[in-house]
Structure formats: C-alpha cells, structure tokens
Structure 1
Amino acid sequence: MKGPYVSPLIIAAIAVVLVAVTAMVFGLPDSWFCGLLALACLLIALDTAYREARVWAVTAVTTAAVLSGAAAYAAYAKARGRRQP
C-alpha cells in the first residue's frame, strides 16, 4: 500500500516557510520575510494549478500578491524611515 504523495513543490514551499520563520527569529527584515512568504504562496499556487484546483490556486496567487505588496511597503517604509521601533 502506497502512502500519500506530497508534491516536491509543496516540500519546497514548506522549506521556504521554515527558512523565513527561522530567519525572522534572528532578525530578518520584514520585507524579506513577506517576500519569502509570497514565494511560498506562489509555489503552492503552482502545485494547486497543476492539480487543477482552481479556487485554491486563485486564493494562493491572491495571498502572494498581498504579501508582495506588504514586502514592497515594508521596504519603502524602511527606506523612508517611517518604520516603528
């Protein structure tokens, strides 16, 4: 009997999330953290699109877009000196 199949894209997404969370503990800037989470969402979107789960793919792409915007805003705010301590 075969076990459940986990896609390499999902394994890569989990690895990216683990790297992001671990690096956040050690002081990763917010822009990088949000960018890495957006990358993980895009990997999940690729996997769900391949599996033809349209609703989940659109949800993952939308989440990636929001996280990309948050990353851009964090980078802009840090450059302008508006970040709260």
Structure 2
Amino acid sequence: MTTLSTIAFATALVAVLALAFNAGDSWFCALIALACLTGGCDAVYRGLDLWAFVFLLSGTGFTGAAVHAAINKPRRQQPR
C-alpha cells in the first residue's frame, strides 16, 4: 500500500466518521472528493489508466456535489 493510497483510505474513513457524527453534506462530499482525487493520483502513479479515470471522474462528481450542497444549504423553517 503506497502513501497516497493510505492517505486516500484515511480521508475516506474520516468522511464516513464525520457522516456518523452528523456532519453536513458539503463536508462529507468534500472529503470523499479529496479521497477520490488522491486515489486517482495514486492510480496515475501506478499506471492504472482505467482506475485513474474512474477515480478522477468520481472525484469531480463529488466536488460538484460538495459545491452544490454548500451553496444550497437547507432552509430551516421559522417557528410560528
């Protein structure tokens, strides 16, 4: 297991633990995006082209989801 792979795994574990402790969607998606992009860099380093493409594509998708979640925070209703 390379250093990049270990960092990606640890980041994904932190994301899942943050989700378990009720972190926001933007935090979860941002951490998973970071894990995917780090895993993609590891796949590029190892020369695994298909895995690199999949990791980098999913990291891009989770980055978009994190931005969307940060911009469109759920509105809380005011008590009447």
5+ residue gaps, structure 2: none
Question: Counterpart amino acid of 1:81?
Answer: R
Structure 2 distance, partners of 1:57, 1:81, is 37
1:70 pairs with one of 47, 65, 69: 65
1:10 pairs with one of 5, 11, 16: 5
Count of residue correspondences: 76
5+ residue gaps, structure 1: 1-5
**1:56 aligned partner:** 51
Report deviation, 1:76: 1.1
Report deviation, 1:55: 1.2
With the length of structure 2 as denominator, give the TM-score of the two structures.
0.88
Runs of 4 or more off by more than 4 Å in structure 1? none
Report deviation, 1:81: 2.6
What is the alpha-carbon root mean square deviation over aligned residues?
A: 1.4
With the length of structure 1 as denominator, give the TM-score of the two structures.
0.83
Q: Quote the sequence identity (%).
A: 42
Question: Counterpart amino acid of 1:46?
Answer: C
